[in-house]
Amino acid sequence: MNVSPAAGAKCQVSFTVNGEAQNVLAYPMQRLLDVLRNELGLTGTKEGCGEGECGSCSVLLDGMLVNSCLVPVAQTSGASIVTIEGMSAHALIKPLQEAFLQCGGAQCGICTPGMILASAHLLEKKPEPTLSDIREGLAGNLCRCTGYMQIFEAVTRAARRRVAK
C-alpha cells in the first residue's frame, strides 16, 4: 500500500483524458471537476449545483456517466475520462448536435455539455430509447431554459437518424 500522505501533500494522478495521457499534480480530494477545468483547461465541463443534483458537470469515467463534482481526483488514477471536448471524436456527436440545434434543445448552454454526455451514454446502452427511457436517462440533468420537451425530442430524433443509417 502507499504511505499515507501528510495533509496538504499533493499526489501525482495519471489518467487518460479524451484519449490523451495526462499527468497532474493535485490534492487527492480535489474534485475531478476542478482538475479538468483549472489544471487541464477543459472548461466545457460546467459547475452547476456542486452537489450532484444538476448534472452540468457530467463526464464519462471509464464509460460510466458520473458527476465530476462528486469524484475525488485520486479515485480516477488510471482511468479513462471523456469530457464534452472529447465528444467531438464520438460517433454520436453529429446526430446529437444536429438534433439539439434543430429542436431548440440548447438555449443558455450551461446544461448542454452534460445533456449531450448523458444522451450519448443512454444511446450507447439503448439505441432505440422510448420517451420514458429518455426521461429516465436525463433525469439527473437539470435545464432551466427549455422545459425539457425540446431536449427529449432532440434525443429521439438523434436516435432515429442513427438507426436509419
Partner 1 sequence: MRADPADYKLVSPGNLPAVLSLLANEPAQWLPIAGGTDMMVLYSAGKLPNRKLINIWNIPELRQIKVFPDRICIGAACTYTALRRHDLISAEFPLLASAASWTGGIANQNRGTLGGNIANASPAADSLPALLVYDAELTLVSVRGERRVAYPSFHTGYKQTVMAADELIRDISLPRRFSGYFSHTRKVGARNAQAISKVCLAALGHIASGTIRDVRIAIGSVAPVPLRLHETERVLSGKKIGPTVIDAARNCAVKEIRPIDDIRSTARYRAAVAGNLVAEFLEKLGAEGATS
- Residues near partner 1 (CB under 8 A) are 1-2, 4-9, 26-31, 50-53, 55, 58, 64-67, 69-72, 74-75, 77, 118, 121-122, 135-141
Paired sense of beta strands 58-61 and 64-67, if any? antiparallel
Q: Which is nearer to partner 1, 70 or 131 (CB)?
A: 70
| DSSP string of 58-89, one letter each residue | EEEETTEEEEGGG-BGGGGTT-EEE-GGGGGG
The distance of closest approach from Cβ of residue 69 to partner 1 in the complex, given in angstroms and rounded to an integer, is: 7
Question: Widest CA span of the chain, in angstroms?
Answer: 56
The distance of closest approach from Cβ of residue 164 to partner 1 in the complex, given in angstroms and rounded to an integer, is: 26
Q: Which is nearer to partner 1, 2 or 23 (CB)?
A: 2
The distance of closest approach from Cβ of residue 77 to partner 1 in the complex, given in angstroms and rounded to an integer, is: 7
Q: Which is nearer to partner 1, 53 or 128 (CB)?
A: 53
Q: Which is nearer to partner 1, 98 or 110 (CB)?
A: 110
Please say whether the beta carbons of 17 and 83 come within 8 A. yes
Give the count of beta carbons closer than 10 Å to the beta carbon of residue 98: 14
